Amino acid sequence: MSSTKQGEQLVPTLEQLREASLLIDVRAPIEFAQGALPGAINLPLMDDDERARVGTCYRQKGSDAALRLGHQLVSGTLRESRTAAWQDALARHPDALIYCARGGQRSGIAQQWLAQEGLEVPRLKGGFKAARQTLMAVTEQAASAPSLVIAGLTGCAKTDMIKALDSGVDLEGHARHKGSSFGRQPGQPPTQIDFEHALAMDIAARRAPYVFEDESRRIGSVEIPLPLWQGLCAAPRVLIEMPLAWRLDQIRRDYIDDLWTQYRNAYGPWLGWSLMRRQLVSALVRLKKRLGNARLERLLHLQHQAFEAHVTTGDSQAHDGWLSPLLSEYYDPMYHYQLGQNEQVPAFTGTWQEVLAFVREAVDQQRRSGDIG
C-alpha cells in the first residue's frame, strides 16, 4: 500500500471491482443488509442507531452539526475498535478498497483515521452509488447484446445446459431459487440489489452472445432487471423436448435428492428432513387455486405416502407417485399454454444433446460472423 496516495479516490470500474481482494463497506449495517458490492464485508464507521441520530441532526441543524455529532459518537475506545477492525482486514488484504454510500464523508473519515495509523487505502469515488451504476450499465448493455434463450418443459435440465456453456448465465443460481413453486433453497435469498450485482459481475466475465434459461421475470424473491427481461423476451429461443420418464428423473433429483442434500448439510438429518418436508408440502398447497381441491388432496395424499416410503426405505423414487401427475397434469399443460401464447417460432427443437450442440454452434457462429441464425 506504500504507493497509494493519501486520500486517493479510484473511479469504480469493473476491473477495480473484480481485482480488489476485498471491499470494505463502512456504511451502517442496515444499509449493507439492503445490498452491497460483490465481495464486500461490512465494517461500519457508525452503527444503525448512530447513523440515525446523525441523520436527524443533519436534517434539523445542518451538515456541520451532524459532522460534529458523528465525531462525538464515534470517539475514544469506540473509534479505536473500529479502526482496529479495518486494520485487521487490511493486514489480510493489503490491496482492499474502502467505500461508503457516495464516496464522501464516511469513507473519507475512515481513510484519514487509517492514514494516521500509517495505512493508506484508496476509496471508491462516488462510493456504492457510482459502483452500482457501473454494474447496472453492464446488464443494460447485455440486454441489447445477442442472446439465446433455452426453453422446454419442466424437468428438461435447462439449468444443467446453462452450466455446461461458457456463455451461459445462471439466473436461478444467482436468485438461489429453481424458479418453480418448489424451487426455494435453504438459507436466506439474496436481496434484489445483491442479485443484480452478482448477475452483472457474471455477465461481465462472459462473452456475448449470452445464453439464458427461459424464466418468468420473477424468480423466487427477486426480479430480472427490466431492460434485460425485455431483451430476453425478444431473443431467439431453442426448445428442448424430452420424454416424461427422463424429465421425471431430473425433477426427482432437483426437488428431492439435491434439496435433501442441501437441507441435511445446512440443518442436520432430523431438522433438515422436517424443514424439507414442510417446504414441499407448503409448495403443493400454494398451488391450490390452480389445482383445485380434489386434485390437491389427491397429490397431498400421494406426497405423504412418498415421504413415509422414503424415510422407511431411503429410496427417493417413491416420490414419482406425486411428481409424475404434477408434471403431466399441471406443469406440462401450463407450459404448453404459455408456449401457445408466444408467436415466436423456436430457432431449433431437439433433444437435450441436440440442443446443446446447436447452441454451441450458434454461439461460435455468432462470434465468427456476428449473426445468430
Indicate which residues carry an active-site annotation.
Answer: 100
Distance from the Cα of residue 208 to its chain's centroid? 20
- Between strands 222-223 and 218-219, the pairing is antiparallel
Q: Give, for 60, the enclosing helix (H) or strand (E).
A: helix 48-61
CA distances in angstroms from 368 to 14, 145, 209, 363, 372, listed in the order given: 26, 15, 11, 9, 10
Beta partners for 348? 238
Query: Is the CB of residue 131 less than 8 Å from the CB of residue 11?
Result: no
The phi, psi pair for 323, rounded to 5°, reads -70, -35
DSSP secondary-structure letter at 327?
I
Q: Are 19 and 113 in contact (CB under 8 A)?
A: no
Q: Is 243 helix (H, G, I), strand (E, B) or coil?
A: coil
Residue among 313, 326, 311 at smallest CA distance from 251: 326
Q: And the C-alpha cell for 247?
A: 424429465
Q: Is 20 helix (H, G, I), strand (E, B) or coil?
A: coil
Starting at the edge strand found earlier in the chain, the sheet holding 348-350 runs 210-213, 147-152, 237-240, 348-350
